[in-house]
Amino acid sequence: MGKPNAETEFALNKFGLKAPRVIETAANEVDKVMLVDHNEPQQSVSDIDQVTVTHLVDHHRIANFNTAQPLWATVRPYGCVSTILTEMFQEKHIDIPANLAGMMLSAIISETLLLNSPTTTDHDREAVEYFTKVAGIADYHKYGVEMLKAGANVNAKSDAEIVDGDAKTFELGGSKLRIGQVNTVELEDVFKRQADLENQMKALMDQNGYETFILIATNILNSDSELLVVGANTDKVEKAFNYQLADNHRMNLPWVVSRKKQVVPPLTDAFEC
């Protein structure tokens, strides 16, 4: 995903920062790495098995993460990994620069949909308060809506950006799933392009060996979501949410905003039983 998405661009511009370099491999540069915000090997650089993970800061489930040696790992079930990092900075009494605080605030807003996701904890709320002050933002809610809207303009996105721009791969019950999520202010803006999106999902499945591709489109204004599924095991997807897919391969999942907390766990149960 070399290029930052429109939401990230908005935040980078706001706080006067450049996007960090994206790497696909690590062993060509270093022999030790720290992982942030992920631990599953298939979500990491392609040669993760060639380097030693010395540190992990994460807020996801632990899956297929094995180390030969003890490491430093700080995992918390918070809404955003920025909140964990803040607490680590605070424990060591290290100040966070204003522009970095602004980016970390943006990360929490993005990941918790302005503290609306069920993944949101009091730790995240406290971190938002702290970052708002440090970053010099007058009203984080107003800033947050602006930022989310900048990222939710699906009309400016290609089919690939919509289905795969924020997608992750999961291995559930021996089956390889790709789960994408896209934010919008109008679900119809996504689904008027459904035929093209399905073709894009199928092409990515062929290229990468995914057996199932799920796209969650979420209306950020009212937290309403629509799920679209392509590929095998649609019966398991139905079982996961206890709901029938319509003929258009979709189901409505009102109030589902969190892939991690509301989508992956029921899918895990359905695929692994």
Closest-CA residue to 223 (of 201, 252, 250, 199): 252
Q: Please tell me the distance from the alpha carbon of residue 44 to that of residue 35, in angstroms, as a whole number.
A: 8
Q: Does 168 bind a second copy (CB under 8 A)?
A: no
Q: Which is nearer to a second copy, 73 or 185 (CB)?
A: 73
Instruction: Choose which of 69, 207, 242, 244 interacts with a second copy (CB under 8 A).
Output: 69
Q: Which region among 26-34, 51-59, 187-195, 214-222 touches a second copy (by CB under 8 A)?
A: 51-59
Cα separation of the two ends of the chain: 33
- 3-state SS assignment for residue 263: helix
Binds a second copy (CB under 8 A): choice among 5, 36, 60, 89: 60
Distance, in Å, from the CA atom of 187 to the CA atom of 252, rounded to the nearest integer, reads 11
* 244 touching a second copy, by CB under 8 A: no
CB atoms within 10 A of CB 196: 13
- Is there binding between residue 74 and a second copy (CB under 8 A)? yes
Site string for a second copy, 90-119 (x = CB under 8 A): -x----------------------------
Residue 265 binds to a second copy (criterion: CB under 8 A): yes
- Among residues 216, 225, 272, the alpha carbon closest in space to that of 61 is found at 272
Give the C-alpha distances (Å, rounded to integers) separating 232 from 171, 226, 267, 271: 14, 19, 13, 12
Q: By CB under 8 A, which span of 57-65, 97-105, 137-145, 185-193 interacts with a second copy?
A: 57-65
Asked if 64 is part of the footprint of a second copy (rule: CB under 8 A), the reply reads: yes
Interface residue list for a second copy (CB under 8 A): 56, 58-77, 91, 260-261, 265, 268-269
